[in-house]
Amino acid sequence: MDTAKGRVWVLGDNVDTDVIYPGKYLPIIVPEEMALHALEGIDPQFPSRLKHGDIIVAGSNFGCGSSREQAATCLKAAGVAAVVAGSYSRIFFRNALNQGLALVESKECRTRVKEGDTITIDFGRGKILLSDGDISFESLAPFLMQILEAGGLIEHTKKKIAGGK
Amino acid sequence: MGLTFAEKLLALKAGRDSVQPGQIVEVSPDVAMSHDNAGLVIRQFAQIGVKKVWDPSKIVIPLDHRVPAESTKTANAHKSIRAFVKEQEIASFYDIREGVCHQVLVEKGHILPGMLALGTDSHTTSYGCVGAFGTGIGATEMAAVWATGKIWLRVPESIRVQVNGNFPEMVFPKDFILYLVGKLGAEGANYCSVEFQGPAIANMGIPGRFTICNLSMEMGAKNAVVPVDRVTAEFLEGLGVGSGTAFYPDPDASYAREEVCNISKLAPQVACPHAVDNVKPVEELGGTRIDQAVLGSCTNGRIEDLKEAASVMAGRRVHPDVRMLVVPASKSVLLEGIRTGIITTLVEAGAVLVNPGCGPCLGAHEGILADGEVCIASTNRNFKGRMGSSTSEVYLASPATVAASAVMGRITDPRKVK
C-alpha cells in the first residue's frame, strides 16, 4: 500500500478492546457484522459515524486488554484505513496486521491533529502529511509489511504454503 | 552475556544457542489452545485451505466463555467445534462441563515447565505458574499455527520482579499483583517477559503463582513466569505428568527493568473503574455501595479462593441488597467445594452458584450489570462496560475483599470483618 488519506477521529490513551468491541458481540464471526459494533463501547453512535477511509489517531497502549481479534477486524471491516497511535498493546498489534489493518506508531500525531482533520499517511516515505507540516515515522519491518500488503495473515500464509516454504 | 528465561526458552525453541531482545524467531508451540473462540479459528483455518491441523496432539480446546450456550450463534459455534475436533482427531477437547480454559489446562497437566504455550486468550500468561512461556494470540494467528505449526515471535525484553517479605493476614497474591499493576501501569510491562522471584514468591503455592502470572497481562506482559522449584515439582508429581524442562535465567542476564517489592506491610488493594491499573488501598474507598459481588474466574476461582471467601463469610449472610455469584473455575473446584462443604457455606450464606466457566467476567452472560450498578469481582478486567451496562462500574479485588464486601453491602476491608 502506498498512501492513505482520510478523516481523523481522535481517541485517548489505553483504548481497550472492551470499548473497541464489547464482549457481548464475540459470538459474531462475520466481519461485516462486526463492523456494526466498532468502537461502540466508546459511543453507541460510533459505528454509524465511521466512514470508509477514516483514520483513528490515538494515544498510548491502543488496543490493550483482550486478545479478541474482532477489535481489529471490526475496524478494518468498518473501512478504517489506518490507526496512528503512540504505542500498541502487542496482541492488538499482531491482530491488526493479521487483518490487513495498517498501523503507524507516532507519539506526536495525536498532539497535532483534531477530530475532523484530513491527513495523509505516506507509508513508503514514512511520513504523515498534516496541513501544517509533516511527521516522520518508522516503517514496519519488511516481513510485517509483507503480511499487511498481502491483505493479512490468511493470504500471506496461503502464499507461503503455495511457494513451498 | 547471560540469558533471561524468555531468551533461553525461545533460543532453544528456535534451534539457536542464543537470542536477544528484538530478534525475530520462528518457533513451534508445544501447546496451542483455544476455547469458544475456536469457532472463529475454524472459519479462518478453512480459508487457508490446509486440510489437516499440523499436530492434533498439541491442540487443546476447552469450551468456557459462554457455557452452556447463551445464544444460537454460540450454540452453532460449539457445534462446529465439536465437529472439527472429531474430524481432526483432536483428543484434548473439553466440552461445556469442565471449566475455564487456563484452569483446565494447568489442572490436567497439559502445561509443563519449559513449554511454549499459545492460546486464543490473553490470560494465557497464567502458565508461567508452572514455568512455561504462555502468551495470547488472535484467532487468525491461531488458524495459521494450526495450519503450519509455526509462529514468528519477537524476543521480548525482560523485567525482573523481586518480592520479599510475608503476606500479612487477609492480604493475598491478588493484592500483590494489583499493587504491582497499579505501580507499573497498564503499559509498564508492555511486550516484556516478567520474571518473579524472591522469598515471597517461593512461599507462594501454585494457586497464587497462577494469579500473579494471570494478571501480569494487565500491565501488558508478553508472558510472566515463576521459577520452577519444589512447589512446582510436588504439584506436577501429584498430577503424574512428568517434569518438563526447567529454564532459569543466568546470573548475568540483562533486564530492561528491575523492581523490588516488600509485601510485609501491604494492605488489601482494589482496582477502581475503569482501569486495572487504577489501584488504591481498600481503606481509600470509603465504603462504596455494591449491587453484585463475583467470586470466580481464571484469576481467582480456585478452591483456595472459595475457601478464603467462605472463611470470611462464616456465620454471616450476603447483604440483602447484593447478588453474590460464585463461579468455580473448574468442575474439579466445584466438586471439591461440595465435598468440603465450602460451597454449601457460600450458598447457605446467600450466594448463587454458577456453573464453572467464565460466567459474567467478560459480560457474556450469567450476571450482567444494569445501568449504574456497581460490582466487586475477583476477576481480571474492569474496563468500561466490561460486565454489562456502559454506566456500570466494576472494582477488582481479592476473594477475601469480595466476600467481606458482599456481606457488608459496600466495599469492605476484609481485615475489619474477621
Q: Where are the domains of chain B?
A: 5-261, 269-416
pLDDT digits (tens, 9 = 90+) for B53-112: 999 999 999 999 999 999 999 999 999 999 999 999 999 999 999 999 999 999 999 999
Q: State pTM to two decimals.
A: 0.98
Whether B269-416 and B5-261 are alike in CATH topology: the answer is yes
Average pLDDT for residues B280-287, to the nearest whole number? 92
Whether the Cβ atoms of residue B159 and residue B125 lie closer than 8 Å to each other? no
CA pair distance B379, B279, nearest whole angstrom:
14
CA pair distance A5, B80, nearest whole angstrom:
40
For cell 500525531, name the residue: A109
CA pair distance A61, A148, nearest whole angstrom:
21
What ranges in B266-341 are assigned the alpha helix state H?
Answer: 303-313, 331-340
Q: Which pLDDT does position A164 carry in this prediction?
A: 72
Domains, chain A: 3-139 (3.20.19.10)
Q: Which residues of B110-143 are buried (b: 16+ CB within 10 A; e: fewer)?
A: bbbbbbbbbbbbbbbbbbbbbbbbbbbbbbbbbb
Q: How many CB atoms lie within 10 A of CB B376?
A: 31
> What would the grid cell of residue B261 be?
517489592
Which CATH superfamily, name and number, covers B269-416? Aconitase, domain 3 (3.30.499.10)
pLDDT at B286 over 90: no
Tell me whether residues A65 and B47 touch, CB distance under 8 A: no
Whether the Cβ atoms of residue B276 and residue B381 lie closer than 8 Å to each other? yes
pLDDT digits (tens, 9 = 90+) for B193-249: 999 999 999 999 999 999 999 999 999 999 999 999 999 999 999 999 999 999 999
User: Does the model's ipTM exceed the 0.90 cut?
Assistant: yes
pLDDT at B385 over 70: yes
For B46, counting Cβ atoms within 10 Å of its Cβ (0-12 exposed, 13-18 middle, 19+ buried), the class is middle
Give DSSP secondary structure letters for B162-200: EEES-PPTT--HHHHHHHHHHHH-TTTTTTEEEEEESHH
A-contacting residues of B 339-368, CB under 8 Å? 362-364
Average pLDDT for residues B141-167, to the nearest whole number? 98
Closest partner residue to B140 among A41, A98, A160, by Cβ?
A98
Tell me whether residues B74 and A27 touch, CB distance under 8 A: yes
Tell me how close the Cα of A131 comes to any Cα of chain B, in angstroms: 31
CB contact B26 to A (< 8 Å): no
Closest partner residue to A18 among B121, B139, B383, by Cβ?
B383
Q: Which pLDDT does position B418 carry in this prediction?
A: 62
Q: Which pLDDT does position B287 carry in this prediction?
A: 82
Closest partner residue to A154 among B36, B65, B140, by Cβ?
B140
Tell me whether residues A19 and B383 touch, CB distance under 8 A: yes
CA pair distance A54, A8, nearest whole angstrom:
6
Whether the Cβ atoms of residue B314 and residue B401 lie closer than 8 Å to each other? no
Tell me whether residues B383 and A27 touch, CB distance under 8 A: no
Average pLDDT, chain A: 96
- Residues of B within 8 A of A154 (CB-CB) are 44, 47-48, 140, 143-144
Tell me whether residues B40 and A61 touch, CB distance under 8 A: no
At B116, which helix (H) or strand (E)?
A: strand B116-119
Residues of chain A with pLDDT below 70 are: 1, 165
Name A136's bridge partners.
Answer: A127
Whether the Cβ atoms of residue A65 and residue A35 lie closer than 8 Å to each other? no
Average pLDDT for residues B115-121, to the nearest whole number? 98
Tell me whether residues B39 and A29 touch, CB distance under 8 A: yes
Whether the Cβ atoms of residue B101 and residue B134 lie closer than 8 Å to each other? no
Tell me whether residues B187 and A16 touch, CB distance under 8 A: no
- Beta carbon pairs, A and B, within 8 Å: 129
pLDDT digits (tens, 9 = 90+) for B3-21: 999 999 999 999 999 999 9
For cell 460451597, name the residue: B343
Task: Name, in order, each residue with C-beta under 8 angstroms of B364's C-beta and a sequence gap of 6 or more.
Answer: A23, A24, A26, B65, B66, B70, B358
pLDDT digits (tens, 9 = 90+) for A33-75: 999 999 999 999 999 999 999 999 999 999 999 999 999 999 9
pLDDT digits (tens, 9 = 90+) for B243-267: 999 999 999 999 999 999 999 999 9
Average pLDDT, chain B: 97
Give DSSP secondary structure letters for B84-112: HHHHTT--EEE-TTSB-HHHHHHHTT---
Q: Which pLDDT does position A52 carry in this prediction?
A: 97
Tell me whether residues A66 and B381 touch, CB distance under 8 A: yes
Pick the CATH number of B5-261 from 3.40.50.261, 3.40.50.150, 3.90.1300.10, 3.30.499.10: 3.30.499.10
For B298, counting Cβ atoms within 10 Å of its Cβ (0-12 exposed, 13-18 middle, 19+ buried), the class is buried
CA pair distance B277, B186, nearest whole angstrom:
6
CA pair distance A53, B369, nearest whole angstrom:
35
CA dihedral B306, B310, B312, B316 (to 10 degrees): 150
